[in-house]
Amino acid sequence: MSILTNIFLILCMVPDPAMRIGAMLYDKGFYDEAITEYKRYIFFHPDGDLTSDAYYRIALAYRDKQNWQGSIEAFRMAMQTAHTDSLRHRAELALAVTYIASENYSAAEIVLLKLEMSMPPKHVKERAAFLRALATMYAKKWEHAQKAFEAYFLHHPDPGMQAKVDSLLHETKNFHYVSADSARQLSAIIPGLGQMYAGDWGNGLNALLLDGSMIGWMWYKVTHSYFGDAWTIYYFLFRRYYAGNMYNAQRIAEEHNDALDRKQTERILQLFLEE
């Protein structure tokens, strides 16, 4: 069958060919071309029955391209032009997912709270509460996550699962977080001490030996009156490694805390994946 015949059949199958061609291009991964076709439909049918759906599909294409701002704007247009509550709810949920994907967790939480308060159908409330729990866990707001899961299980009762989730959430209260500021300050006093405080003894000992060796080297130069050499070592080597030592101490502390939160989030999500 020729290409022209295929196109003719496509045009005959749907009321508007731009939407059909856009969907076909999207399925093939040609996102820019698909967006063009959806915008073509919107241009000719600004108040059409499929206008909201066209904006929704534009948003999906932008999201697949990781063009977060374009996706967010298109989802908002899909909400504004929706002729039914179900289309608006679909766009709101997808907007929240986009905020989560772009790590804008606070914005996702706001969208989802507004959606839950607007009295949508039960299945929409359930989905919104679960996504809100996900957003607050990624944001490390464990108390907010607890409340979101309570709302979720209110609409989706499962005592066994709820007990498991509550148990994991309770564990977060006993997490041993380390202070990134303290780690940096400790390494400013004694190079490597902040890394050791954060639990990374290997990097701590390496920093202690490296910076300590340079201090010893500078001291040797000073005591032998090689002041120019001592200044060169200080200016071109020691300053860099000393500053890097403090930066690494702070980074390692932050990564330690992030790892605790990320692991707990993954453990909770794994419960739902195994259900």
Asked if residue 264 belongs to a domain, the reply is: yes
- Enumerate residue ranges in the chain where pLDDT < 50: 1, 8-11
pLDDT tens-digit readout, 178-214:
999 999 999 989 898 988 988 889 988 998 888 888 8
Say yes or no: 164 and 202 in one domain.
no
Say yes or no: 200 and 235 in one domain.
yes
Say yes or no: 19 and 75 in one domain.
yes
Which tokens go with 87? Answer: 């289309």
Which tokens go with 220? Answer: 């040797």
Say yes or no: 236 and 266 in one domain.
yes
Asked if residue 197 belongs to a domain, the reply is: yes
Say yes or no: 125 and 83 in one domain.
no
Residue 210: predicted pLDDT: 86
Asked if residue 91 belongs to a domain, the reply is: yes
Asked if residue 113 belongs to a domain, the reply is: no
Residue 2: predicted pLDDT: 52
Say yes or no: 40 and 22 in one domain.
yes
Say yes or no: 71 and 25 in one domain.
yes
Examine the fold and report which residue of 72, 102, 132 is the final residue of a domain before the chain moves on: 102
Which tokens go with 139? Answer: 């944001």
Examine the fold and report which residue of 74, 102, 130 is the final residue of a domain before the chain moves on: 102
Residue 96 phi, psi (nearest 5):
-65, -40
- The amino acid at 28: K
Cα–Cα distances in angstroms (integers) from residue 243 to residues 134, 172, 249, in the given order: 37, 33, 10
Cα–Cα distance, 242 to 187 (Å, whole number) = 9
Does the pTM exceed 0.85?
no
Cα–Cα distance, 61 to 55 (Å, whole number) = 10
Asked if residue 7 belongs to a domain, the reply is: no
Closest by CA position to 77, among listed 86, 67, 63, 87: 87
Say yes or no: 184 and 266 in one domain.
yes
Residue 8: predicted pLDDT: 47
What domain count does the chain have? 3
Residue 100: predicted pLDDT: 96
CATH of the domain at 19: 1.25.40.10
Residue 39: predicted pLDDT: 95
Handedness of CA 212, 216, 219, 225 (dihedral sign): negative
Residue span of the structural domain in which 186 resides? 180-273
Asked if residue 6 belongs to a domain, the reply is: no
Asked if residue 10 belongs to a domain, the reply is: no
Asked if residue 5 belongs to a domain, the reply is: no
Say yes or no: 65 and 95 in one domain.
yes
Asked whether 246 and 195 are in contact (CB, 8 A), the reply is no
Examine the fold and report which residue of 102, 132, 155 is the final residue of a domain before the chain moves on: 102
Residue 128: predicted pLDDT: 96
Residue 235: predicted pLDDT: 79
Say yes or no: 127 and 79 in one domain.
no
